[in-house]
């Protein structure tokens, strides 16, 4: 995280490690960083840490806030700058913001059991045979494991329960042969007329 070092001797807590959001500096106890010095105002200034920047704002202090010798009301800080809060000198060591995102690993199931006929048993359903394999992580699974998503129009998409990528049937998809009679039923819809008896 962003860090400032107090160079003035005799001031407690010489290292200011900023937290995300507003960090108030002043002589009063309710500040995030209390600096007990006669030239520092009760609520002297604040440092706002966020979006990869550190913004320094003066809080109408009596003796002012200075960056590299110039009085400021509000300024974005850079590493290497010198700040004076009253007569107290601070050095901007770093303005980096590091947010650690914890990594969670899902436990992977044990490898499948291979039967004598070459078929495999599902790692999650011990009595079911493997029917599908993920196209991404190559995990094998039975039909019960497959996550299904049905879209409008009737098409169903199959997904892996571990990585949510598409799965496919082991051995490829089998397409049913279309019969000639079935093709006729879909293309020709003509009622058969019964012959009328002559009266």
Cα separation, 76 vs 23, whole angstroms: 14
Mean pLDDT of the chain: 84
The strand pair at 88-94 and 120-121 is best described as: unpaired
* pLDDT value for 106: 63
Q: How confident is the model at residue 45 (pLDDT cuts 50, 70, 90)?
A: very high
The strand pair at 33-34 and 53-58 is best described as: unpaired
Q: Which residues contact 117 (CB under 8 A, 6 or more apart)?
A: none
Q: Name which residue leads in pLDDT, 50 or 188.
A: 50
Indicate the helix (H) or strand (E) that contains 183: helix 180-187
The Cα angle at residue 112 between residues 124 and 134, in degrees rounded to 5: 75
Q: Which residue has the tokens 């200075």?
A: 66
Whether 81 and 65 have beta carbons less than 8 Å apart is answered as no
Q: Is the pLDDT of residue 135 over 80?
A: yes
Q: Name which residue leads in pLDDT, 194 or 81.
A: 81
Average pLDDT, integer, range 44-48? 96
pTM: 0.50
Whether 78 and 86 have beta carbons less than 8 Å apart is answered as no
Cα separation, 150 vs 67, whole angstroms: 61
Cα separation, 172 vs 166, whole angstroms: 13
Q: Helix count (H) and strand count (E) of the chain?
A: 1, 18
- pLDDT 10s digits, 137-179: 889 999 999 998 887 777 888 999 888 899 999 865 444 555 6
Closest CA to 25 of 61, 51, 72, 53: 61
* pLDDT value for 155: 82
Q: Is the pLDDT of residue 199 over 50?
A: no
Whether 168 and 178 have beta carbons less than 8 Å apart is answered as no
Query: Six-digit token pair at 135?
Result: 């196209």
- pLDDT 10s digits, 94-122: 988 766 666 666 666 677 788 888 889 99
């Amino acid at each position: 995280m962003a860090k400032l070092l107090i160079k003035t001797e005799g001031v407690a807590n010489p290292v200011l490690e900023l937290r995300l959001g507003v960090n108030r500096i002043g002589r009063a106890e309710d500040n995030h960083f209390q600096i007990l010095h006669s030239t520092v105002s009760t609520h002297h200034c604040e440092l706002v840490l966020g979006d990869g920047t550190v913004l320094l704002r003066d809080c109408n202090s009596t003796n002012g806030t200075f960056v590299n010798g110039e009085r400021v009301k509000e300024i974005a800080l850079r590493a290497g700058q010198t700040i004076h809060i009253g007569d107290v000198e601070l050095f901007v060591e770093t303005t980096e913001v590091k947010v650690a995102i914890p990594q969670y690993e899902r436990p992977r199931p044990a490898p499948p059991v291979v039967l004598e006929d070459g078929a495999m048993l599902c790692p999650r359903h011990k009595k079911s045979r493997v029917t599908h394999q993920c196209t991404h992580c190559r995990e094998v699974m039975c039909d019960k494991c497959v996550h299904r998503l049905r879209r409008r129009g009737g098409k169903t998409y199959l997904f892996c329960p571990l990585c949510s990528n598409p799965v496919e049937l082991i051995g490829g998809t089998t397409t049913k042969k279309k019969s000639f009679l079935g093709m006729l039923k879909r293309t020709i819809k003509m009622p058969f007329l019964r012959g009328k008896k002559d009266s």
